[in-house]
A and B are shown apart, each in its own frame.
Chain A
Amino acid sequence: MPSLKDLRNSIASVRNMRKITSAMKMVAASKLRRAQEQAQIAQPYAERMAGILSRLSANYVATASSPKLLTGTGKDHVHLLVVVTSDRGLAGGFNSNAVREARRVIRQLLADGKEVELLTVGRKAKDLLRRDQANRLGKTFEGIGSKRVAFSEAEGVANTIVEMYEAGEFDVCTIIYNRFKSVISQVPTATQLIPFALPTGATKAESHEVRPVYEFEPSEDEILAALLPRNFAIQIYGALLDSAAGEQAARMTAMDNASRNAEDLTKKLTLRYNRARQASITKELIEIVSAAEAL
């Protein structure tokens, strides 16, 4: 049986904890709003880019001079996985979900006899994957988007990856990140980015007669060679933005739960405290009464 003083102390510390978690929840909520806004204003560029690419691809025929980012290296032996998490924890299962998905993809690729290399964005991905995948861990990025995700940061990551690709370090690049589905749901998603899959299929054949014929300045291949790395950077940027919004949403939910748990705990402890207090009062009364009777 803990003493009254112990109970009082633990009630006080749980109350303090609740203060901290609910403050963190508020901070996460306001950061989430900002992150969502940012993701929204970045949307038009990504949409227009996708639009141009699909119109370009409508009548594109790959040739030997096509950019490598589009056609691939002709192999799919070495896979580069880009794992995106946050730098900071206390966000529920946010980071471990992304890392678990990464481990699943790694196992699958290894089972298929592929080679896997890792590139991480966010400190948590590095820390978690270093334990069991240290030999695959290559470049790591940290401190991206600590205030807001700038496009130049995403571009930096993208350029590093494209350079690695051009140096022939890998054949296929897949990004694994938490897609922001809603405030209460972030889905770990793996998306292949290199080689880039042009939207093809039915629309191509149907629109064969009426498809618009663009003039290109300079040539089509040169434009694609410039567009594709841009598009790649945009996709990385989109993933980083999604991840940033998801992190705040996950933290908000986690802190909300923690606050509620702390509240429950305070109630339970208070009840025990009151019982113990009453028990000791009763005990003292019995002592006084029985002492009086004995006289």
Chain B
Amino acid sequence: MVAVDRKFEFELVSPERLVLSEPVDMAVIPGSEGDFGVLAGHSLVISTLRPGVIEVWQGEVVTNRLFVGGGFAEVTDTRCTVLADEAIPVGEINAAAAHAEYERLRGEFDEADSEDAKRILELRLAVAEAKVAATGKPVH
């Protein structure tokens, strides 16, 4: 059983910078096949991510909520590395801009004619939707 006070190294990197690197107690990660919580001593996993929010726990409180637009997570027993396509603290998301982006993509999606374009827009739409949802005001 994992001791409660054991921390592990959590790292969140986006292509343009190292967003967060600190010892944490728990991280909840939006895996593409469902959210999973990581504690120290976790088994080895490599997973893809879906657009969503990573919660970083120190003790009993969430100290950081970070939006990621997809990516990968590698978990070992002492470390958790998240390679995010886009990473931004939830508090810094501009809710209005995120909403406008969603509406714009929605419009483009409805007008797209080829299957390929639809497929790509669908992915971007999912990211935009998750971003809006992360601000706490869902689109629907």
**A→B interface (CB under 8 Å):** 38, 41-42, 44-45, 48-49, 51-52, 55-56, 150-151, 154, 212-218, 222-223, 226-227, 230, 233-234, 237
Contact = CB atoms under 8 A, between A and B. Distances in A.
Contact of A44 (B13, B33, B85): B13
B45 A45 contact: no
Contacts of B43: 215
Contacts of A41: 16-18
Interface in B6-64: 11, 13-18, 31-33, 43-48
A216 B47 contact: yes
B109 interface: no
Contact of A151 (B16, B18, B45, B46): B16
B83 A217 contact: no
A151 B85 CA distance: 9
24 contacts: A38-B16, A41-B18, A42-B15, A44-B11, A45-B13, A45-B15, A45-B18, A48-B81, A49-B83, A52-B72, A55-B74, A56-B46, A212-B44, A216-B45, A216-B46, A217-B31, A217-B48, A218-B33, A223-B46, A223-B47, A226-B72, A230-B72, A230-B83, A233-B15
B84 to A, nearest CB: 9
Contacts of B47: 216-217, 223
A212 B43 CA distance: 10
B76 interface: yes
Contacts of B83: 45, 48-49, 52, 230
B18 A215 contact: no
Contacts of A150: 16
Interface in B66-105: 72, 74, 76, 81, 83, 85
A155 to B, nearest CB: 8
Contacts of A222: 48
A213 B72 contact: no
B32 A218 contact: yes
